[in-house]
Amino acid sequence: MRENIGKASFKVPKGKLITAKVVYGSEIKRVELTGDFFIHPEEGLSVIESSIEGMPSNAPEEDVAAEVQSAMDANMVQAIGIDASSVAKVVKKAMA
| 10-residue mean pLDDT series, the chain (96 residues) | 92 94 98 96 96 98 98 97 97 98
Looking at residue 2, its pLDDT comes to 83
Tell me the pTM.
0.95
Expressed as residue numbers, the domain containing 15 is 4-94
How many independent structural domains does the chain possess?
1
Here the CATH number for the domain that contains residue 30 is: 3.30.390.50
Contact 44/75 with Cβ under 8 angstroms? Answer: yes
Query: What is the sign of the dihedral through the CA atoms of 61, 51, 67 and 2?
Result: positive
